[in-house]
Amino acid sequence: MRTVFKNILVLAVMLGTCTSYANEKLEVKSSITYLNKGNQISVSDAYGEVIYSGEVNYSGNLTSLYDFSQLKNGTYDVEVTNGFKIEISTIKVNQNIVSIVDANKKIIYKPVVRNQNSSVLISKLDLDKQGMTVELYFEGNLIHSENVEGDSVLNRAYKLDKNAKGSYTTIITSNGRVFINNFKI
């Protein structure tokens, strides 16, 4: 009996919640943004201040998982990180109506750093041909620095001294962002 009562109560609350949102308008004009559980999402305002950052708990459409209509009127950047890809979209909120601006959509690919057999292999998909700066540190001391430009795929391989065992760090700057990777040999 209690279980039936609980189920009816949950159903009533869900129905009440759904009907309360029935009068709100949501305008979405984008093909983007199916989110997968585990993606990272952050929302920043027009001044670049992050107003929300977290992990996506459920898979689904961006606008069905997050209620942007409650934000103040203005322009916001929504950044979704999925593995080695960062997708940045702009949304506009005006009088609780949310629209996604497709013209401002941008995709940044993170560099991939692999350490194997005393070598460091770095590759990055660079479709916008921004290039990257690679800095390699051993025990906190800079041992190599290089600006890499060229094709849409940037690759670099660095051979490390097998006898220099310790902590290494790569700092890669690209697309106005800094990517740091620590590893040991």
* Per-residue pLDDT reduced to its tens digit, 54-95: 998 888 887 778 888 888 999 999 999 988 899 998 889 998
pLDDT at 10: 47
Residue 151: is it exposed, middle or buried by C-beta count within 10 angstroms (0-12/13-18/19+)? exposed
Sign of CA dihedral 83, 29, 91, 53: negative
Distances (CA, A) of 1 to 6, 12, 13, 88: 9, 17, 19, 50
- H/E segment holding residue 59: none
Residue 139 tokens read as: 């025990």
Residues in the chain: 185
Contacts of 79 (CB under 8 A, 6+ apart): 41, 42, 43, 44, 86, 87, 88
Partners of 184 in beta bridges: 167
Residues of the chain short of pLDDT 70, as ranges, are 1-33
Sheet with 119-125, strands from edge to edge, namely 112-116, 119-125, 153-159
Look at the block and give the residue holding tokens 């620590």.
Answer: 182
